């Protein structure tokens, strides 16, 4: 397919991923989960799981480049929020909550890495 079509597929996937991220944020807020950035943590864990699952499937089976880019760069790129993660961790530091920042960074890194390994292992 042309680069224009691929670009539009990535844009469509990104819109879906961003919409999903928004819905997760609403869901977390409705539960009163506001003292800790649960929504960001959840989408990053889910995104790490699925991006590795998709990448592993793509590497072992036939998957078109357009489909892979739609799912990974598009949907997972729109869903995950590492820029938001960085901002939230920095805000903890700025508000003299270094322990919360370290906890958030540690939990995010460990669980996202583990989710990626699980995604890969499911296909293996």
Q: Which residues of the chain have pLDDT under 50?
A: none
pLDDT at 124: 84
pLDDT at 1: 62
pLDDT at 83: 81
Q: What does the pLDDT look like over 52-69, one tens digit per residue?
A: 899 999 989 889 999 999
Q: How far does CA 49 lie from the centroid of its chain?
A: 8
The residue range of the domain holding 30 is 3-123
Q: How many CB atoms lie within 10 A of CB 57?
A: 17
Our count of domains for the chain comes to 1
pTM over 0.85: no
pLDDT at 4: 96
Tally the residues of the chain. Answer: 124
């Amino acid at each position: 397919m042309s680069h224009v079509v691929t670009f539009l597929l990535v844009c469509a996937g990104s819109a879906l991923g961003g919409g999903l991220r928004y819905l997760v944020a609403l869901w977390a807020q409705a539960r009163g989960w506001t003292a800790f950035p649960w929504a960001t943590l959840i989408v990053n864990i889910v995104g790490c799981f699925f991006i590795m699952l998709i990448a592993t499937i793509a590497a072992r089976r036939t998957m078109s480049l357009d489909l892979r880019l739609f799912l990974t760069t598009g949907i997972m790129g729109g869903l995950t929020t590492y820029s938001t993660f960085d901002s939230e961790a920095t805000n903890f530091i700025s508000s003299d909550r270094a322990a919360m920042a370290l906890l958030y960074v540690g939990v995010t890194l460990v669980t996202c890495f583990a989710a990626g390994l699980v995604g890969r292992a499911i296909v293996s």
